[in-house]
Amino acid sequence: MARTILAIDQGTTGTTALLIGEDLRILAKVNREFPQIYPQPGWVEHNPEDIWTSVGASVSAVLAESGVDPGSIAAIGITNQRETTVVWDRATGEAVHNAIVWQCRRTADRCAALRDAGHSDTVRATTGLVVDAYFSGTKAAWILDRVDGARARAEAGELAFGTMDTYVTWRLTGGAAHVTDPSNASRTMLYDIHKKAWSEPMCDLLGVPTAVLPEVLPSAHVYGTTRGVPGLPDGIPVAGLAGDQQSALFGQLCTDPGMAKCTYGTGAFLLMNTGAEAVASKHGLLTTVAWQVGDDYHYALEGSVFIAGAAVQWLRDGLQVLSSAPEIEALAASVPDSGGVTFVPALAGLGAPHWREEARGVITGLTRGTTRAHLARATLDGVAMSCAELLEAMEKDLGRKLAELRVDGGAAANNLLMQTQADLLGCDVVRPEVIETTALGAAILAGIGAGLFDDVEAARNTWREQRRFAPNPSAQTTELRQRWAATVGKA
């Protein structure tokens, strides 16, 4: 019987299950969405039971669609929305509160107080992160402080904290494994990325008892085996864990220092492998753990653009200038340029390298001659410029130019966007045949953890280039940069 790997991609709006062969070809893929909960403006929650239901539904559906025998599954890999936080009862498995999603800003005041008290440098030096409500630590503390009796129960060891990799693994193993990996731990603001362990000073600072924390194990490791999961036999090893962006870096086989990828989804996330060195950014980026395989520990520089594909969705749903998201490429290409229109898509604040949560979107240069095509072109330009700022910051931190950027995610299918990106960066932009690189990364890690592959070299020949966009900068590129520099400060 041919062996397969089950990759579970637990995302922000839904869970995708993929069955992947030992040759790392995708055999089947199914997504199941779950509700988003908005208790008040700026707050975002998920019901953990809805997430678990979406995991089960997507796994059952992908098995039914593929006709694959569940007994052929040799390993399970999990990749996940990263900073989303849940706290649950170790005895019953019931969450004490809805999960607080990475997008949620409810702890912004707490983070502002930490910054005002002078803790920013210590947090960055220890964790590689900026003090921001984006990360998990203040979310966990919020739950413990707002749910009656939760803090005392947490200190007594009755409650467990985790990001979605931890929660899904706990459910898959019937509560036997309370674990995470360094890529996810490094997104909590509680993990010392240099000592490679939870930081008691950070836990004390944020008010998170160490008794709730999961064990940190390598990204490729047998954490436990399935037990009591409907549709799956008991005993399948759960053998790979990585946060979604680090998993995409691994799936793009950016395994050598200096290699980088950008994932274009709702937001855009650019990561560069820095190898065994945790490079401290001086240009507004994050230093994070990429993965750990055996004793091989890789770090990355990361920049986040909060709005990328979401800007196209806004044109479609908010302004109704598009009937479908894919329509934007042909519309934007119908004009030679944006006609002087500049769009800074700060619809949810500005992430790296600015870190201005109060920023708002700005459109300048409108005239009576402006058409919806010009606005579409300016939107793609704005996404590309946002990403260009990230890569330029990375190049400054490392002191060298990037040779190529590997791309994935839904918007990577937009040829005009990719060519604009190459022109702005001055380097090749390379799109692989398979852009499901987040799931592929989890599958490769699981294959290594379960012993299907000796190491990442066994997977290297599976990465295949689909198209390469060579840079062709022009006077138009220079003008776009100048207009952006004059506009981004107004956001």
Tens digit of each residue's pLDDT (9 = 90 or more) over 438-459: 999 999 999 999 998 877 776 7
Kindly state the tokens that stand for 271.
């990561």
Instruction: Name the pLDDT band for 24 (thresholds 50, 70, 90).
Output: confident
Helix (H, G, I), strand (E, B) or coil at 300: strand
Mean pLDDT of 309-319: 87
DSSP state of 210: G
What pLDDT is recorded for position 180? 98
Mean pLDDT of 240-261: 93
78-95 CB burial, b ≥16 within 10 A, e <16: bbbbbbbbbbbeeeebeb
Helix (H, G, I), strand (E, B) or coil at 56: helix
Instruction: Name the pLDDT band for 310 (thresholds 50, 70, 90).
Output: confident
Instruction: State how far the Cα of 139 lies from the Cα of 145, in Å rounded to an integer.
Output: 10
Kind of pairing between the strands at 26-33 and 362-364: unpaired
What pLDDT is recorded for position 227? 95
More confident residue, 12 or 241: 241
Q: What is the pLDDT of residues 160-177, one digit of tens each?
A: 999 999 999 999 999 999
> CA 394, 398, 401, 406: dihedral to nearest 10 degrees?
-50
Using the predicted structure, report yes or no on whether residue 184 has a pLDDT greater than 90.
yes
What pLDDT is recorded for position 325? 86
Mean pLDDT taken over the chain:
92
Instruction: State how far the Cα of 258 lies from the Cα of 90, in Å rounded to an integer.
Output: 42
Which range of 252-256, 349-353, 461-465 scores highest in mean pLDDT? It is 252-256
Instruction: State how far the Cα of 173 lies from the Cα of 165, in Å rounded to an integer.
Output: 12
Using the predicted structure, report yes or no on whether residue 92 has a pLDDT greater than 80.
yes
Mean pLDDT of 72-97: 95
Mean pLDDT of 370-377: 94
Residue percentage of the chain with pLDDT more than 90? 68
Residues 466, 409: contact at Cβ < 8 Å?
no
Q: What is the pLDDT of residues 383-430, one digit of tens each?
A: 999 999 998 888 888 888 888 999 998 889 999 999 999 999 999 999
What pLDDT is recorded for position 286? 93
Domains parsed from the chain with CATH numbers: 4-245 (3.30.420.40)
Instruction: Name the pLDDT band for 1 (thresholds 50, 70, 90).
Output: low
What pLDDT is recorded for position 474? 85
Instruction: State how far the Cα of 471 lies from the Cα of 175, in Å rounded to an integer.
Output: 51
Mean pLDDT of 139-145: 97
Mean pLDDT of 466-483: 90
Kindly state the tokens that stand for 39.
């208790």
Mean pLDDT of 325-330: 91
Which range of 176-190, 408-422, 466-480 scores highest in mean pLDDT? It is 176-190
Mean pLDDT of 191-217: 97
Q: Which residue in 177, 213, 205 sits closest to 87, CA to CA? A: 213
Residue percentage of the chain with pLDDT more than 70? 100
Mean pLDDT of 98-123: 93
User: How many other CB atoms sit within 10 Å of the CB of residue 461?
Assistant: 10
Per the DSSP assignment, residues forming a β-bridge with 303 are 270
Choose the weakest-confidence range: 287-296, 366-375, 470-479: 470-479
User: How many other CB atoms sit within 10 Å of the CB of residue 317?
Assistant: 11
> Cβ contacts of residue 192 below 8 Å, gap of 6+?
126, 127, 198, 199, 202
